[in-house]
Amino acid sequence: MPETIVRKILERGLREPIDTGGKHAAMLNGMHLSGHTAMLDEQLRHTLAGTGNIPRSKHPLGRIVAHPNISDSMSRIRPLVLAGYEEEAREALPIYLKERVEVAGAPVFSTAPSTPGWIFADTAYMVPPSLAIMGEGGRAISDLVRTYELLATPTGLIRHVLNAAVPEEDSYCKIDVWIDGTAWGRANGWWLAGVVDTVEVVPPGDKLLAMFRKSCESLLALQEDGFWRATVDDAYSLIDSSATVMIGYGFVKGWQLGLLEKTYEEAGVRALEYVLRHHFDLRDGTLHHQQKGPLIVNVGSPNPRYLSSANPYGQGFLASLYSLVAADVNVRDMNVRALKAA
């Protein structure tokens, strides 16, 4: 039976504006993992009908994919498959593949005129898992590898954004201070979650596995008393509860899939225990002290403008992490499989 506390977490997230596909996907994937199938089905029916709290894009292309946030909208394809909406998923994928835009060998997050050539770490979660479950495993792995090559620091930490259309020597600012070119906490969470949700249905290959493990090793060394910061390698940066549960999710699921050693599972447990103890309201399911973002320089400031409560990103990943750690869910037992490519 689905855990009552997880239902409370998910319901709290649904009371917030879900104005991006990524927020929605984090919630939908949490519903699937925790066994809240009726809630998942209701949300997807609203999405397919164009009702509910999921706003229509300015340029919808069918019922799922839309411009300008082409990658963000595509993230709902995986939950469609998980919920049994195979026909609707197969309807959406060709639209995405036709409209997909690449720069430097990686898919752009948005086709908005204000962000030409920008590669976001978020896309690692929005696109490859949906490609993989639709039978496009080779493209999914390639996207993850290229994202790492473009955004990883020498130690394997993941930056948030890179303008890949401009040579680094021609950039106005140095790469680590441009917009959010720091090793952002949630960027690392997107990357880890994107890898484990992809590898759940397709083998990673040696190159991607080595990249993933390098990121995890560096993140493990930076964990403080269970948490990670908004900029993971900046001790002056704020604690970010959303990054903490996202990275914790990547660690625990990575361990369950056999990608990581038990040390990482234990770190994921510490992440859950920390946020439940210090940043969670048991009465209404709210995860507090999530960084608002995006594109906010991760300064060490207590200003409330940098923080939010009940952000659906954190609510969805908290539900997923809680399910893996405290509700006896093992992804191996769920037997998720990719569809055959059309």
Inside any domain, residue 281: yes
| Separation of alpha carbons 74 and 72, rounded Å | 5
pLDDT at position 1 is 47
- Could you read off the pLDDT tens digit of each residue along the chain, which spans 342 residues? 468 999 999 999 999 988 888 899 999 999 999 999 999 999 999 999 877 655 556 677 888 998 888 998 999 999 999 999 999 999 999 999 999 999 999 999 888 887 888 899 999 999 999 999 999 999 999 999 999 999 999 999 999 988 888 777 777 666 655 666 789 999 999 999 999 999 999 999 999 999 999 999 999 999 999 999 999 998 988 899 999 999 999 999 999 999 999 999 999 999 999 999 999 999 999 999 998 765 555 555 666 667 789 999 999 999 999 999 999 999 999 999 999 877
pTM: 0.95
pLDDT, tens digit (0-9, with 9 covering 90-100), for 45-102: 999 987 765 555 667 788 899 888 899 899 999 999 999 999 999 999 999 999 999 9
Contact 287, 309 (CB under 8 A): yes
pLDDT at position 179 is 62
Inside any domain, residue 338: no
Contact 188, 247 (CB under 8 A): yes
Inside any domain, residue 46: yes
Helix (H) or strand (E) holding 74: helix 70-74
Inside any domain, residue 144: yes
3-state secondary structure of 229: strand
Inside any domain, residue 331: no
Q: Record the tokens describing residue 89, joined without a space.
A: 């998923």
Residue 16: other Cβ atoms inside 10 A: 18
Residue 125: which of 40, 187, 33 has the closest Cα?
Answer: 187
Inside any domain, residue 234: yes
Chain centroid to CA 204: how far?
18
Total domains, the chain: 1
Q: What's the domain range around 54? A: 4-326
The CATH number of the domain where 18 resides is what?
Answer: 1.50.10.10
User: In angstroms, what is the C-alpha Rg of the chain?
Assistant: 18
CA distances 55 to 52, 66, 200, 308, 337, Å, are: 8, 11, 30, 21, 30
- Longest Cα–Cα distance of the chain, Å, equals 56
Inside any domain, residue 252: yes
Residue 139: which of 149, 154, 150, 129 has the closest Cα?
Answer: 129
Inside any domain, residue 337: no
Q: Record the tokens describing residue 29, joined without a space.
A: 């994937």
pLDDT at position 3 is 84
